A = this chain, B = another copy of it.
Amino acid sequence: MTTSTRKQRELQAREELILDAAQSMLHQHGYNYLTMERIAETVEYSKGTIYNHFASKEDLVCSLCCRCITNLIDVFERAYQYRGSTRERFSAIGIAYSLYLQLNPMDSQNILTVKNNAIREKISKEKLIEMESLEREITTIAKSIVQQAIDIGDLDNKHQHHLSTIVFGFWSMHYGALLLDQSGIPLEQLGFSPVVQMLWTNANIFLDGYQWQPLSTVTDTARLFEKISSALFD
């Protein structure tokens, strides 16, 4: 029993070690430099051992992605706990998302990588299921705030059947914005402002569109942004 759990723990520890090495390598030299061989060298195990942990390079990257979503869930939960109106708490989720990905550009990269079909095809079924389950978890947090807003009356209950549409809209807006940002489109050159700023404006407009109270027109949004972001990232 103890033996078995010690083994487990050792395995687990090594897995983390590998993931850390991969992450740092990715961070420093990018995806193309990341090879199974190099990871093996770095952690001082053989390639075969790496393959005992991860079915493929893609599986490994997907695992990094799972870690990232786990981190995001953490931040989302802090946003969920934020003391304020439902609208503020939902906004907090948006801020959490955008600041997290801004602070960890490599993670946006990985998300983008894993979403690519060519890569996805090579990810094992199990890893995909793991990731899906995390994704379900994270959308659940967002959905529950919307539900609460409807229950309280901050959001008209004619939107009850739009519940997931609201979440989806908010999500896709952030997702799209951050991916556009990450993907080397020269936004400034095309005449755009900093992404986090535009996102905050548009998120507010979007929620105003749904008449989610209190509207941004009666709020000091700049100050709110500061408050929420320091509440989340300190």
Contact = CB atoms under 8 A, between A and B. Distances in A.
Interface string A92-117: 00000000000000000100110111
A165 to B, nearest CB: 5
A82 interface: no
Contacts of A121: 30, 32
A229 interface: no
Contacts of A166: 202
Given A169-B173, A172-B173, A176-B176, A116 B112 contact: yes
List the number of copies, as a whole number. 2
Interface of A: 30-32, 109, 112-113, 115-118, 120-122, 132, 135-136, 139, 143, 162, 164-166, 168-169, 171-177, 179-180, 182-187, 189-193, 198-199, 201-202, 204-210
A182 to B, nearest CB: 7
